Amino acid sequence: MSSTTIVNADNPAATKEPVTGLSKLSILGYGAGDAANNLAFTTATMFLLVYYTDVAGISAAAAGTLLLVVRVFDAFADVFAGRIVDRAYSKRFGKFRPFIMFGSVPLLLLSAATFSVPQIGESGMLIYAYCTYAALGLAYSLVNIPFGSMAGAMTQTPTGRAKLASARTIGGMIVGAGLGIFVAPLIVPGADLQATFTIMTLSFVVVGTALYMFTVFTAKERVVRTVTNVSLKQSLATLKGNKPLFMLCISSFIFLTGMLALSTVQLYYLRDVLHALPLYAALSIFQIVATFGLAAFIPAIVRKFGKRTAYMAGGGIMAVGGLIVFLAPASMVWLGFSGLAICLIGIILVNMIVWALEADTVEYGEWKTGVRAEGMTYALFSFTRKTGQAVGGALAAFSLAWGGYAAGESVQTASAELGIRAGAGLVPLVASVIAIAVMIFYPLTDKRHAVIVAEIAERRIRAEQGEPPVDPALSTASFRAQRVGNTLPPLD
């Protein structure tokens, strides 16, 4: 495994030393952080629409508009958070962990407030819902942007980043599966759902705080940086011309549209189309098994096929599952359930790979400009993912409204079932196909990334030895013309 130069965040002046891997504790700590994130995020994506329609009494169309507007706001909140992250630096805790330390409790409390809409009239409820969900989105951005950016500062090796991506996927999956097993079966007509959501979200404040603190004290920055406080001009410069980042953003936006439509509507699909809500727990158990099974093979898959190919394969798997979900007859419960399970396999694979791909684009921007700006890079990536989530969640709600979904009814009309099928199957199918098409042209392979990392390391060595700096804007060929004994393969 290739080594990377690091600096101790607690003592930036400490002697630098090569690090060849991540400790198991740091990987576990990073996964715990995403588990904490998903106590707020997955709870909202899985249950907020059904909470608004079936508990608060907000219409499906109004809830769909709310989800679209607030999630677009969340996307801009990510950019705001990215700028704050790039400008911040703590000599003791580094660049990212202070945000997690001080932002975690407000985030979890706002999650509880979001699921506590008071009955104060239709207009009052909508105003409250908009305000609390928007505040939740901003708080989530101020925690999640530094958390996600931290992976690129923990290691630069492909397998190391694949392990971190797998860890965060497992952390999020455990929360999602737990919600599916223990909470989803309770979402039935006539149940006291307000009490359920109140107890659940308040308990998450305690559990989530413990998980976040575990992350803070185990997952530390290790990759050296030459600029600790990045200016706006430098941040924008790292984004300009970063073709891999922009292509990944586009593909991820489209994929997330399909994924969020599915995750938002799958409860309706199991309950109102297949009439098999207890299978939600079985689907969650399958998700656990599939996630741990794939996680064991992800490093080997990345080494053999590369991250781009694995990402595209995951998209293809979700497309197959979406087709089955859309076409499966309601009487063939096993087929519809199989379609959901196949979709999950594709989603898990993509989610395990996409974070490692994003971290690679940080080095590409540093290679182009000489400035490492994890905050804005991750913020732009998260911006497009949030807009994809906004569109996907809105499409899910609008598909319910288009079909004439009737909240609280045990039997839905044929048109309502068609709307549910469209949200759970057709949207994921189309989105995954388009996302794959974009990634066909993605240029940053693992081999090219290895060359970039090596060149960045050599620039740092030149600087430490007092040699004249090499202009990052130079072409690779010009850069290598100044070197002696070049053995690296060509990049351009």
Confidence of residue 76 (pLDDT cuts 50, 70, 90): confident
- The pair of three-digit structure tokens given for residue 191, joined into one six-digit string: 């149940």
Number of other residues whose CB lies within 10 A of the CB of residue 219: 29
pLDDT score at 490: 46
Lowest mean pLDDT segment, chosen from 134-138, 176-180, 311-315? 176-180
* pLDDT tens-digit series, residues 248-279: 999 999 999 999 899 888 888 998 889 888 89
pLDDT score at 333: 93
Please state, in angstroms and rounded to a whole number, the distance separating the CA atoms of residues 171 and 203. Answer: 18
> What are the domain boundaries of the chain?
22-444
Pick the CATH number of 22-444 from 1.10.600.10, 3.40.50.410, 1.20.1250.20, 3.40.50.150: 1.20.1250.20
Please state, in angstroms and rounded to a whole number, the distance separating the CA atoms of residues 410 and 397. Answer: 18
Confidence of residue 215 (pLDDT cuts 50, 70, 90): very high
- pLDDT exceeds cutoff 90 at 82: no
Distances (CA, A) of 453 to 161, 360, 393: 13, 9, 38
| Contact of 442 with 276, CB cutoff 8 Å | no
Partners of 392 in beta bridges: none
Distances (CA, A) of 27 to 172, 350, 355, 484: 14, 19, 14, 38
Please state, in angstroms and rounded to a whole number, the distance separating the CA atoms of residues 394 and 48. Answer: 12
- pLDDT exceeds cutoff 60 at 491: no
pLDDT score at 389: 78
- pLDDT exceeds cutoff 70 at 482: no
pLDDT score at 170: 87
Please state, in angstroms and rounded to a whole number, the distance separating the CA atoms of residues 443 and 133. Answer: 37
Collapse the DSSP code of 115 into the 3-class scheme (helix H, G, I; strand E, B; otherwise coil) and give the result: coil
Question: In this predicted model, which residue has the larger pLDDT, 263 or 378?
Answer: 263
pLDDT score at 485: 39
Lowest mean pLDDT segment, chosen from 14-23, 360-369, 407-416, 452-461? 14-23
Half-sphere exposure of 199 (CA within 13 A, CB side): 7
- pLDDT exceeds cutoff 60 at 140: yes
DSSP letter, residue 186: G
| Contact of 286 with 180, CB cutoff 8 Å | no
- pLDDT exceeds cutoff 70 at 4: no
- pLDDT exceeds cutoff 80 at 452: yes
* pLDDT tens-digit series, residues 309-341: 999 999 999 999 999 999 999 999 999 999 999
The mean of the pLDDT values for the chain is 83
Region for 209 from its dihedrals, namely left if φ exceeds 0, alpha if ψ lies in -120 to 50, beta otherwise: alpha
Lowest mean pLDDT segment, chosen from 133-142, 178-187, 192-201, 326-335? 178-187
Number of other residues whose CB lies within 10 A of the CB of residue 44: 23
Closest by alpha carbon to 100, among 46, 158, 39, 145? Answer: 145
- Burial bucket for residue 20 (CB in 10 Å: 0-12, 13-18, 19+): exposed
Please state, in angstroms and rounded to a whole number, the distance separating the CA atoms of residues 491 and 100. Answer: 37
pLDDT score at 373: 72
Contact residues for 455 (Cβ-Cβ < 8 A; gap 6+): 367, 476, 479, 488, 491
Q: Which uninterrupted H or E stretch holds 59?
A: none
* Mean pLDDT, residues 172-201 taken together: 86
- pLDDT exceeds cutoff 70 at 10: no
pLDDT score at 462: 77
Collapse the DSSP code of 96 into the 3-class scheme (helix H, G, I; strand E, B; otherwise coil) and give the result: coil
Question: In this predicted model, which residue has the larger pLDDT, 154 or 311?
Answer: 311
Residue 90 has phi, psi (to 5 degrees) of -115, 125
- pLDDT exceeds cutoff 90 at 474: no
* Mean pLDDT, residues 296-305 taken together: 86
| Contact of 162 with 21, CB cutoff 8 Å | no
Region for 370 from its dihedrals, namely left if φ exceeds 0, alpha if ψ lies in -120 to 50, beta otherwise: left
Please state, in angstroms and rounded to a whole number, the distance separating the CA atoms of residues 314 and 76. Answer: 28
Contact residues for 13 (Cβ-Cβ < 8 A; gap 6+): none
Lowest mean pLDDT segment, chosen from 101-115, 200-214, 338-352, 382-396? 382-396
* Mean pLDDT, residues 214-232 taken together: 73
- pLDDT exceeds cutoff 50 at 176: yes
Residue 384 has phi, psi (to 5 degrees) of -70, -35
- pLDDT exceeds cutoff 60 at 393: yes
| Contact of 419 with 185, CB cutoff 8 Å | no
- The pair of three-digit structure tokens given for residue 409, joined into one six-digit string: 């009814």
pLDDT score at 231: 62
Provide the percentage of residues in the chain whose pLDDT is more than 90: 36
- The pair of three-digit structure tokens given for residue 293, joined into one six-digit string: 């099974």
- pLDDT exceeds cutoff 80 at 472: no
pLDDT score at 200: 94
- Burial bucket for residue 406 (CB in 10 Å: 0-12, 13-18, 19+): middle
pLDDT score at 234: 65
Collapse the DSSP code of 470 into the 3-class scheme (helix H, G, I; strand E, B; otherwise coil) and give the result: coil
* Mean pLDDT, residues 189-212 taken together: 92
| Contact of 261 with 424, CB cutoff 8 Å | yes
